[in-house]
Amino acid sequence: MSNIVLVGFMGTGKTSVGRRLAEKLKLSYIDTDDVIEQDNEMIIADIFRQHGEPYFRRLESDAVCKVSGLDNHVISTGGGVVIREENLEMLKRNGMVFSLAATPEEIWKRVGHEIHRPLLQAPQPLDRIRKMLAARAPFYARADCIIHTTGLSIEEVTDQIIEVFQHAIY
């Protein structure tokens, strides 16, 4: 197992924690959302707007296929990557998957001001977060380890992941 893979709902800390993990462990960092945007020369919000979510999910699976073959990386994924079973299977082949979790209120506090979140463009965004978290919970539960990030600093979450990862590989 050479990769650390971060999954979880938007706003749970995947990007911030992923970058810090890579820095501390001297690993390369890659984000599947960045891969999608680079490969398609379009930001994710525009992909959603112009082509819809099903099209985006296909692009996301292509990005997962690309990054899952890497070694010695911290891989951060989009929040919905786990809803396709094959994505999680690919990521687990060469990595330990950590699901980052937070309360709906904490997620809203972290990302409510961000206008580039297409799935939050709804009349009742906090309700939408609750419904999406409930629907995705069984998928996030399939990770190798769940880390609750509410009330924790990036450093605290990073240290928890490193401790679990090092125990798993030694």
Q: Which tens digit of pLDDT belongs to each residue from 128-146?
A: 899 999 999 999 999 999 9
Contacts 24+ apart (CB under 8 A), 128-135: 129/9, 129/104, 130/104, 132/9, 133/9, 133/104, 133/107
Tens of pLDDT, residues 72-124: 999 999 999 999 999 999 999 999 999 999 999 999 888 876 656 655 667 78
The domain made up of 3-169 has a fold known as Rossmann fold (3.40.50)
For the chain, what are the domain ranges?
A: 3-169
Q: Which of 11-25, 59-73, 124-138, 146-160 has the lowest mean pLDDT?
A: 124-138
Closest CA to 132 of 147, 153, 158, 111: 111
Three-state SS at 147: strand
Phi-psi region of 98 (alpha: psi -120 to 50; beta: other; left: phi over 0): beta
The pTM of the full predicted model, rounded to 2 decimals, is: 0.92
